[in-house]
Chains A and B, each alone.
Chain A
């Protein structure tokens, strides 16, 4: 069974204080690892797809990296508008289903 574990559960940052979120996973043949952002009361917003170890993707202040066992989401010089819950999910080959982690709730204070 696919498993996704995210840490920490919550992260409080000062504006400009860079940090990283962790997503550890076990999956029977990784097809893709996905990062989503979810604001309160809204559906998840797609951020990145990573396919293979060593891959990196960037979007504004966010950078996602992937190894064979985990993924990191780095937030560089965060702003209050980066406050959200960040969800990690994996998809196995031969399946459309996504297995989600519990998420990391990031709060950035001005």
Chain B
């Protein structure tokens, strides 16, 4: 199967700071990538669709100015959590499609203190 990586795997930051998470497709190109958020013992909630060369599409209720997405190339999308607060603490996961299947990264655990 296709491989998607994320960096960092874990990050702890102080309230009010910004954090950048990278998502890379290692062995294929992806014009579209997806960012999900997962709370403990809950399923994945789609936050936004990252589009190479154009603006991201955000799901209803997701703050565009708080969760900045940049799809810099056909293999890289970044999610920046701006002015993070404790309620932003969560598990963030990206995915990229190859054909019909979507492959997921290993996830990033964000803790805001």
Task: Give the chain B neighbours of A34 by CB distance below 8 A.
Answer: 101-102
CB neighbors of A among B29-58 (8 A): 32, 34, 41-44, 46, 49
A70 to chain B: closest CB distance in Å? 17
Given contacts A34-B102, A97-B49, A100-B44, contact A43 B107 (CB under 8 A): yes
B106 touches A101 (CB 8 A): no
Within 8 A of A (CB), among B88-108: 91, 93, 95, 97, 100-107
Do A43 and B106 touch across chains, with their CB atoms under 8 A apart? yes
Chain A residues lying within 8 Å of B91, measured Cβ to Cβ, are 41
Closest partner residue, chain A, to B33 (CB atom): A96
Dominant secondary structure of chain B at its interface with chain A: strand
Interface status of A49 (Cβ within 8 A of chain B):
yes
How many pairs of residues, A versus B, come closer than 8 Å at their CB atoms?
52
Listed by A's residue number, 8 A-B pairs whose Cβ atoms lie within 8 Å are A43-B6, A43-B106, A46-B1, A49-B100, A97-B49, A98-B95, A100-B44, A105-B41
Bound: A98/B103 CA distance, A = 11
Size category of the B interface is 20 to 34
Interface residue tally on A, bucketed by range: 20 to 34
In this assembly, does B85 line the interface, its C-beta being within 8 Å of a C-beta of chain A?
no
B45 to chain A, nearest CB (A): 8
Instruction: Using A96-B34, A96-B49, A102-B43 as known contacts, say yes or no to A43 and B93 having CB atoms under 8 A apart.
Output: yes
What residues of A have a CB within 8 angstroms of the CB of B103 in the complex? Answer: 46
In the assembled complex, which residues on chain A have CB atoms less than 8 Å from the CB atom of B6?
43
